[in-house]
Structure 1
């Protein structure tokens, strides 16, 4: 157990004068992810409970997951056509990454966590304390953990990275209810989740559709192929232009539809966003990313 790394994280809650570097933060997040624990849950426990280190160790041992995703023996999930599509467009869909039954179990868990009734739309708009925009800080549940162990998802990431030396993140879910005359879309506009300082940190992102999602159901959007032109695009901006604002003003994202159980992986250099739900029921997704063992996101944020 990497207690020295975790002790540094714990110590900063009792000694606010301690300064953290980006490298330390990346290392701490990676350690927690490899234990199957989310950073959000950990920080919440530390700052609200203010435990001594022994109590923190007990909590870590209780929260950690003994997980083993067997993907090495699995046949390739992505075909040559899929890989060619990926090279051109920067995203790919893994069909039926998890079963419909597992999707239904996960959706039920989200409804229960939110204390909402799927048959009573008036309950969908009462905000839960763990909701922020579309995001719901809900990551520790047996169905979510089961989905993270999908061999098909891991194998797809291994194929795209061309490496088995990857680790998964422990991330949130998203709840996007239909718009009404009293409720408007809470999501972010077109954006990146990474710094745009070149060279851009190499990595991929992914989400699992837990519900069927057509064009009007709050579908994930991205700008296909932008990974092949982002460096030239950035280099051709005017000196004082903000690339994030420029993307919103000029780039046209495409909706990526899918069925419950389909998993979308995209290159992190693709600008992307969710969209307003014009359908009849909430769109739910689970986020799941695998990162290279040597992933390093430290440095200047642009």
Structure 2
């Protein structure tokens, strides 16, 4: 099995320095506030992105550029989720200083924890294969944002160049803007929220014309407000979509976590040490428990983002 420790330690940045990010932070804050999402293009270096792609391909038993390997008789799930959480390649991105700076700057908070989230592999839609022919665009909210007094942000990283037709992250900013302004006409429908979230179609009618797909190059970090209905559109491009999900929130403040999956320091440390998924994501089809790769050697920042060390 491939070792990622040396590669990730020696990986360089894409040219997007912490200083450059700081200079543009006010612009990114405005974009996030006004539209419900922000795209920070090319934030993660290509080596780290490719390492995560390789980890996904290894887990899914596919080849990145061989379409004959992308389709399985029994796919793990219908939406392309990759039930892997603790891979060293994922942790190399989670503890990247520029990723931390992005969340810290947007949240205006230094003491953060990072979610131990999953990834996604979504091959092109094929109508000749029933299990890969669903081209519906399921816009949704993941969490009942009414329950948090603070902003909750979610995020993902495009690990490869992603076109608007490539199963791209997509959203409905017009709905977010109404919610933000207190002008949304269907607030009563939010009582339909469950632990799995709420589909936008269960709250109101909308059409594909309302959906905005986001194209961006490899290494781009997309962060969105949890009030923004979102999803991924069907993949009608020649290539799969590779994504790693990631979010950060104030350490120890589970009420400000959009994930609601790692509530306390002890459970977070145990998940990392035991190489297990957060409890609510265990038991998924195809999941390894514990995961079968080496444990990642965290940096000083990484130890704080997990909870091993306290923020001063």
Under a length normalisation based on structure 2, what TM-score does the superposition of the two structures give? Answer: 0.64
Q: In the alignment, which residue of structure 1 is the partner of 2:14?
A: none
Shift of residue 140, structure 1, vs aligned partner: 1.9
Whether the 8 Å contact between 2:112 and 2:250 is mirrored in structure 1 is: yes
Q: In the alignment, which residue of structure 1 is the partner of 2:220?
A: 262
Whether the 8 Å contact between 1:133 and 1:187 is mirrored in structure 2 is: no
Shift of residue 295, structure 1, vs aligned partner: 3.3
The secondary structure found in structure 1 opposite 2:93 is helix
Q: Aligned in 2, Cα 1:187/1:99: closer, same or farther, shift over 3 Å? A: farther
Structure 2 distance, partners of 1:262, 1:239, is 33
Q: Aligned in 2, Cα 1:297/1:151: closer, same or farther, shift over 3 Å? A: closer
The secondary structure found in structure 2 opposite 1:296 is helix
Q: Aligned in 2, Cα 1:202/1:81: closer, same or farther, shift over 3 Å? A: closer
The secondary structure found in structure 2 opposite 1:103 is helix
Equivalent runs, 1:196-275 vs 2, <5 Å: 197=146, 202-224=151-173, 226-230=175-179, 232-234=182-184, 236=186, 244-247=200-203, 249-250=205-206, 252-275=210-233
Q: Aligned in 2, Cα 1:225/1:248: closer, same or farther, shift over 3 Å? A: closer
* 2:254 equivalent to 1:295: yes
Shift of residue 130, structure 1, vs aligned partner: 5.1
The secondary structure found in structure 1 opposite 2:85 is coil
* 2:47 equivalent to 1:101: yes
Equivalent runs, 1:1-302 vs 2, <5 Å: 74-75=18-19, 77=21, 79=24, 80-126=26-72, 131=77, 133-181=79-127, 182=129, 183-185=132-134, 189-195=138-144, 197=146, 202-224=151-173, 226-230=175-179, 232-234=182-184, 236=186, 244-247=200-203, 249-250=205-206, 252-293=210-251, 294-296=253-255
Shift of residue 106, structure 1, vs aligned partner: 1.5
Q: Aligned in 2, Cα 1:255/1:129: closer, same or farther, shift over 3 Å? A: closer
Shift of residue 210, structure 1, vs aligned partner: 0.6
Whether the 8 Å contact between 2:190 and 2:203 is mirrored in structure 1 is: no
Structure 1 distance, partners of 2:218, 2:189, is 44
Q: Aligned in 2, Cα 1:127/1:170: closer, same or farther, shift over 3 Å? A: farther
Shift of residue 87, structure 1, vs aligned partner: 2.1
Greater displacement, 190-199 / 242-251: 242-251
Q: Deviations over 1:226-259 (max 9, x none)?
A: 4442163456556799684355622622111111
Runs ≥4 residues deviating over 6 A: 238-241
Q: Deviations over 1:144-182 (max 9, x none)?
A: 110111111111111111111221000000011001122
Structure 1 distance, partners of 2:189, 2:116, is 37
Structure 1 distance, partners of 2:221, 2:244, is 9
Structure 2 distance, partners of 1:296, 1:160, is 18
Shift of residue 127, structure 1, vs aligned partner: 6.0
Kindly tell me the number of residue pairs found equivalent between the two proteins. 228
Q: In the alignment, which residue of structure 2 is the partner of 1:33?
A: none
Q: Aligned in 2, Cα 1:250/1:142: closer, same or farther, shift over 3 Å? A: same
Q: Aligned in 2, Cα 1:119/1:95: closer, same or farther, shift over 3 Å? A: closer
